[in-house]
C-alpha cells in the first residue's frame, strides 16, 4: 500500500531526503547553554498570527494569543548530536563536529500556549566566518515530505550549503509530528511490511475492499498510538513553531530555505508573519492553488514527464541495451508490462523479500528525483525485466519509504499522512477515485493509478482538515525567491509560477532552472547557485524571470 507520489493520504511527496543523512538530536556530551547571538538584520516586532482559513481542528482557531515569555525567552542547551534515532531514519553515525543539537519547547496547541508543551528537535552548525565575513543570523531549513527529519538530513547535505555557512548558522529541525519532535507512530515494522503488501492499485472489488480495510486499520493504529498529537501536526502550527524558533535563536527576521513541502511551510509562514520575513528561498515548489486531487494529477504528469526524459537519455546513451528501448510509447509499454507481471507474480529480491508492483513503482519514482540515480534505475529495470530479480528497485523503494536494512521504518510515512490529513479538508472515497481513474491514466500510464488511489488515505481520519489549499498571500513581505525546475517530477514547474503569483506582486520572485530532478539549488547549476547565494549573502534580489540553463 505504498503510494509514493502524492503529498498526503499515505503517500510521500518527498524532497531531498533520499540523500545521505547522519544526524539526530538528543542529550549528549559537550553541553553548551546559550541564548543565540542576535541577528545583524534589522529589528522587527513579532506579529500575532491569524489563520488563513476556518479550521475544523483544535489548532487552527482564527486568533492565536501571544506566546508566554517562558517559551519565547527559553534558553537552548546545545549538545553534541548522537546518531539518528529509528524515528529519524536511523542507520547512521553521529555527525560529529561542528554539529550541535538542542530541544525547543513549543505549545502542543498554539491556541492555548500556556498549556501542554512538546519538544522539537533542532540541529545547527555555527557560522564559520570564513574570509572574515560577518554573521547574518540563522538559516533554517525544511527538507520537505512532509515527514522528513531535518535533524537527520542537514549534515548529509551541508556540503551544498558551505558558502552559506560562512555567514549563517545552518539550522534544521524535526517539525511537529516528525522524527524526535512528538513523532507520530502508527504501525510497528512487521505491520508496516504487511500493509505495504496490500495492492495499492486495486483491479477488482475484492482488492478495493482490501485497500479500504488497510487504510482503516492504519488510521486506527495512528489514533491509538498518537491520538493526542494528531490534531496539532498541521502546517499552520508548524509555521507558528518557526516563528518561536526565530525568536529563541535571536533573529529579528526569519531566514529560511524550504524545499518541496518546505515551500508550502514557508508560504504559510509568510502569510501569517509577513513582517518577519527576512530572506526566504523556495526550491521545488508546491502549487498552493491546487487541491489534493489536482495536485496528485499534476504529480502523475510530472513523474511521467521525468520518466520520458530518463528513457530518452537512456536510449541515447545505451542504445539497444537500454531496458526501455527507444523510450516514448515503447518504453512506457515495457514498464507497464513489467508492472502487470509483478501484479500477478512479484520478483524475488534480497533475503525473503519480494518486489511487488507497488514497490516497483515506488522504486522507479525514487530514482526520478535526481538525475544521479538514473543509472541505478536503468540497472534496476534491466534486472527486473531480464534478470528475474527485484533487488535494486526494492533498495530504491526502501530509501524512499524510510525502511533500513534491518527492516526498521522511520516515522516518515506516518508523519506524512498525519500532516497531510490535518491540512487537507478533502476526503476521497473509492467511488471518487474510480471516477477519476481515466484522467489519471491519461496523465500517466505508469504512475496514474497509484497517485489516484493514494488519495484515499485520509478517508476516516479522526481529525478534520483545515482547508482546500494553503493560504500563502503575503502582502508587505520582503522579496521571496521562488525556484522552479522544468524537469521536476514531484513538484511540477508550473507550481513555482503559481506560488510566486499567490505570494503577491513585489513579493514572489520567479526563478527558473531548465534542468532535471527535484529541486534546483543542489543540482550543480552554477547560475542558479550564484543567484541564490547573492540573494542570501549580499541581499541582491534576482531579476524577475531569471532563467538558468
- Closest by alpha carbon to 33, among 76, 2, 65, 64? 76
Are 39 and 250 within 8 A, CB to CB?
yes
| List 488, 510, 522, 523, catalytic entry | 488
Torsion angles phi and psi, residue 61, rounded to 5: -65, 150
Grid coordinates standing for 25? 538530536
Are 469 and 291 within 8 A, CB to CB?
yes
Are 74 and 3 within 8 A, CB to CB?
no
Grid coordinates standing for 450? 497509484
| List 2, 3, 271, 518, catalytic entry | 518
**Quick check: is 488 catalytic?**
yes
- Closest by alpha carbon to 225, among 6, 411, 13? 411
Are 20 and 143 within 8 A, CB to CB?
no
**Quick check: is 110 catalytic?**
no
DSSP 8-state symbol, 45: P
Are 504 and 475 within 8 A, CB to CB?
yes
Omega into 219 within 30° of 0, i.e. cis?
Answer: no
**Quick check: is 518 catalytic?**
yes
Which residues fall within 8 angstroms of residue 180, CB to CB, at 6 or more apart?
24, 25, 26, 85, 87, 88, 119, 121, 149, 151, 174
Kindly list the catalytic residues: 260, 488, 518
Amino acid at each position: 500500500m505504498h503510494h509514493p507520489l502524492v503529498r498526503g493520504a499515505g503517500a510521500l511527496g518527498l524532497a531531498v531526503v533520499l540523500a545521505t543523512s547522519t544526524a539526530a538530536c538528543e542529550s549528549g556530551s559537550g553541553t553548551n547553554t546559550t541564548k543565540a547571538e542576535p541577528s545583524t538584520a534589522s529589528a522587527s516586532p513579532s506579529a500575532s498570527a491569524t489563520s488563513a482559513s476556518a479550521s475544523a481542528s483544535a489548532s487552527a482557531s482564527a486568533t492565536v494569543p501571544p506566546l508566554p515569555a517562558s517559551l519565547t525567552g527559553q534558553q537552548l542547551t546545545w549538545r553534541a548530536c548522537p546518531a539518528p534515532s529509528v524515528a529519524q531514519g536511523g542507520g547512521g553515525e553521529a555527525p560529529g563536529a561542528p554539529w550541535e543539537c538542542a530541544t525547543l519547547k513549543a505549545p502542543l496547541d498554539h491556541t492555548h500556549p500556556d498549556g501542554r508543551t512538546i519538544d522539537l528537535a533542532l540541529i545547527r552548525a555555527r557560522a564559520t566566518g570564513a574570509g572574515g565575513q560577518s554573521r547574518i543570523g540563522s538559516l533554517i531549513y525544511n527538507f520537505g515530505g512532509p515527514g522528513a527529519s531535518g535533524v537527520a538530513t542537514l549534515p548529509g547535505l551541508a556540503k551544498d550549503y558551505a558558502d552559506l555557512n560562512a555567514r549563517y548558522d545552518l539550522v534544521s529541525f524535526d517539525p511537529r509530528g516528525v522524527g524526535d519532535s512528538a513523532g507520530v507512530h502508527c504501525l510497528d515494522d512487521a505491520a508496516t511490511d504487511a500493509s505495504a503488501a496490500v495492492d495499492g492499485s486495486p483491479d477488482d472489488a475484492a482488492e478495493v475492499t482490501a485497500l479500504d480495510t488497510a487504510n482503516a486499520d492504519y488510521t486506527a493504529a495512528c489514533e491509538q498510538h498518537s491520538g493526542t498529537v494528531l490534531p496539532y501536526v498541521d502546517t499552520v502550527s508548524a509555521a507558528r513553531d518557526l516563528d518561536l524558533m526565530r525568536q529563541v535563536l535571536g533573529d529579528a527576521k526569519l531566514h529560511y530555505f524550504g524545499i518541496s513541502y518546505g515551500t508550502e511551510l514557508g508560504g504559510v509562514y509568510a502569510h501569517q508573519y509577513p513582517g518577519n520575513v527576512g530572506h526566504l528561498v523556495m526550491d521545488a515548489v508546491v502549487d498552493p492553488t491546487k487541491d489534493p486531487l489536482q495536485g496528485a494529477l499534476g504529480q502523475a504528469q510530472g513523474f511521467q514527464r521525468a520518466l520520458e526524459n530518463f528513457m530518452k537519455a537512456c536510449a541515447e546513451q545505451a542504445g539497444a541495451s537500454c531496458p526501455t528501448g527507444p523510450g516514448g510509447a515503447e518504453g512506457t509499454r515495457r514498464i507497464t508490462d513489467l508492472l502487470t507481471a509483478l501484479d500477478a507474480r512479484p520478483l524475488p529480491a534480497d533475503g525473503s523479500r519480494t518486489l511487488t508492483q507497488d514497490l516497483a513503482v515506488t522504486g522507479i519514482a525514487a530514482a526520478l528525483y535526481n538525475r544521479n540515480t538514473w543509472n541505478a534505475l536503468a540497472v534496476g529495470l534491466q534486472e527486473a525485466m531480464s534478470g528475474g530479480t527485484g533487488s535494486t528497485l526494492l533498495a530504491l523503494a526502501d530509501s524512499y519509504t524510510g525502511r533500513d536494512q534491518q527492516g526498521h521504518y522511520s516515522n516518515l510515512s506516518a508523519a506524512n499522512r498525519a500532516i497531510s490529513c490535518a491540512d487537507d479538508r478533502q476526503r476521497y472515497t473509492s467511488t471518487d477515485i474510480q471516477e477519476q481513474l481515466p484522467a489519471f491514466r491519461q496523465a500517466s500510464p505508469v504512475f496514474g493509478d497509484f497517485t489516484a488511489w493514494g488519495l484515499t488515505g485520509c478517508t476516516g481520519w479522526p481529525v478534520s482538515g483545515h482547508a482546500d489549499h494553503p493560504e500563502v498571500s503575503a502582502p508587505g513581505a520582503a522579496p521571496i525567491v521562488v525556484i522552479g525546475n522544468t524537469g521536476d517530477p514531484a513538484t511540477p514547474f508550473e507550481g513555482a509560477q503559481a506560488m510566486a503569483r499567490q505570494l503577491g506582486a513585489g513579493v514572489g520572485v520567479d526563478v527558473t532552472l531548465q534542468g532535471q530532478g527535484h529541486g534546483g539549488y543542489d543540482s550543480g547549476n552554477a547560475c542558479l547557485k550564484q543567484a541564490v547565494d547573492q540573494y542570501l549573502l549580499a541581499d541582491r534580489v534576482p531579476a524577475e524571470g531569471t532563467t538558468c540553463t
